[in-house]
A and B are shown apart, each in its own frame.
Chain A
Amino acid sequence: DAGVTQSPTHLIKTRGQQVTLRCSPKSGHDTVSWYQQALGQGPQFIFQYYEEEERQRGNFPDRFSGHQFPNYSSELNVNALLLGDSALYLCASSLQGMSQPQHFGDGTRLSIL
């Protein structure tokens, strides 16, 4: 049973650059959510995609954008990177609907120099 897979595992960028992170959901799941986890903190919700549309968004600027493909995989894009964007970016997949369990991948560690 393939779980949630994310790529790459690590990434180093410089300020001002842009980055794209990728996520493949668990088999059978149709909804993907993205979270940012700063060191020593709990994950913070960025946004959720279902049926190739952004359904919900957390308190993140427009520099953060995403996409979902017909096969349910997803990308997270961040433009004009800031030092404060350094974090672990987590993807979670689930079925759409109320109170559906979200299953996380191991994340992409993004470091901004």
Chain B
Amino acid sequence: GENVEQHPSTLSVQEGDSAVIKCTYSDSASNYFPWYKQELGKGPQLIIDIRSNVGEKKDQRIAVTLNKTAKHFSLHITETQPEDSAVYFCAANAGGTSYGKLTFGQGTILTVHP
């Protein structure tokens, strides 16, 4: 089955800096890669996603890049703000008969210091 590795496990930045979180996946059939932000006591919130036919997608301060050959994808947050502090999860959704199942990484705790 699919396996998703996420790094780093913790990330500390100063307000205004950029933050990058990286994930690798194992199943070359995976074709959909969402990113979620989870705040304390809340469920994961979808912040951006990318499909395998696209190499990069941007939404204001957030961008995601995908390298299908290397089987890795990354989340980029620019001009970080204290409210960006949360746990971030990457996920992969394999195609075929497993298309409904998301496999998550282990999460990255992002702390943005004012």
List the count of A-B residue pairs having beta carbons below 8 Å apart. 65
Chain A positions within 8 Å of B78 at CB level: none
Does residue B98 face the partner (Cβ distance < 8 Å to A)? yes
B46 touches A106 (CB 8 A): no
Q: Mark A41-84, 1 if CB is under 8 A from B, else 0.
A: 11111001010000110100000000000000000000000000
Given A56-B100, A58-B101, the answer on whether A102 and B89 have CB atoms closer than 8 Å is no
**Interface: B103 (CB within 8 A):** yes
Q: Quick one: closest B residue to A31, CB to CB?
A: B100
**What residues on B are CB-neighbors of A58 within 8 Å?**
101
Whether B101 and A106, one on each chain, are in contact in the complex, defined by CB atoms closer than 8 angstroms, is no
Interface residue count for B (Cβ, 8 Å)?
A: 29
Is the CB–CB distance between B46 and A43 below 8 Å? Answer: no
The answer, yes or no, to whether B44 is at the interface (CB within 8 Å) is yes
Query: By the criterion of a CB under 8 Å from any partner CB, how many residues of chain A are at the interface?
Result: 28
A residues neighboring B (CB under 8 Å):
4, 31, 33, 35, 40-45, 48, 50, 55-56, 58, 90, 92, 94, 97-99, 101-107
Can you show 14 pairs from A to B with CB atoms below 8 A apart? A35-B102, A40-B107, A42-B91, A42-B105, A55-B100, A90-B43, A90-B44, A98-B32, A101-B46, A101-B49, A102-B102, A103-B46, A104-B45, A104-B46
